[in-house]
Amino acid sequence: MSFYQKAYFLLSVADVKQLPPDEGIEVAIVGRSNAGKSSVLNRLTQSRGLARVSKTPGRTQHINLFALDDKRRIADLPGYGFAKVPLAQKEKWKKLIDTYVSTRKCLRALILIMDIRHPMREADVQLLEYCDYYNLPVHVVLNKTDKLSKGMVAKTMHEVKAALTGYSNSVSFQSFSALKGLGTKELLSILDKWYEL
Ligand X SMILES: Nc1nc2c(ncn2[C@@H]2O[C@H](COP(=O)(O)OP(=O)(O)O)[C@@H](O)[C@H]2O)c(=O)[nH]1
Sort strands 8-13 and 72-76 into parallel, antiparallel or unpaired: unpaired
CB of residue 60 vs Mg ion: minimum separation in angstroms?
Answer: 5
CA distance 14 to 144: 28
CA distance 63 to 41: 14
Kindly tell me which residue out of 38, 45, 64, 143 binds Mg ion, with binding defined by CB under 5 A: 38
CA distance 189 to 163: 24
156 binds ligand X, rule: CB under 6 A: no
* Binding piece for Mg ion, criterion CB under 5 A, among 60-68, 89-97, 145-153, 170-178: 60-68
Report the partner that residue 57 touches, choosing among ligand X, Mg ion, none (CB closer than 5 to 8 A by kind). Answer: ligand X
CA distance 48 to 38: 10
CB of residue 21 vs ligand X: minimum separation in angstroms?
Answer: 26
175 binds ligand X, rule: CB under 6 A: no
* Binding piece for ligand X, criterion CB under 6 A, among 13-21, 150-158, 162-170, 174-182: 174-182
CB of residue 35 vs Mg ion: minimum separation in angstroms?
Answer: 9
Kindly tell me which residue out of 16, 25, 37, 128 binds ligand X, with binding defined by CB under 6 A: 37
34 binds ligand X, rule: CB under 6 A: yes
Binding mask 134-153 for ligand X (x = CB under 6 A): ---------xx-xx------
CA distance 36 to 114: 8
* 64 CA to centre of own chain: 12
Kindly tell me which residue out of 55, 84, 150, 185 binds ligand X, with binding defined by CB under 6 A: 55
Kindly tell me which residue out of 28, 35, 110, 141 binds ligand X, with binding defined by CB under 6 A: 35
Number of chain residues interacting with Mg ion (CB under 5 A): 3
**Sites of contact with ligand X (CB under 6 A):** 31, 33-39, 53-55, 57, 79, 143-144, 146-147, 177-179
**Sites of contact with Mg ion (CB under 5 A):** 37-38, 60
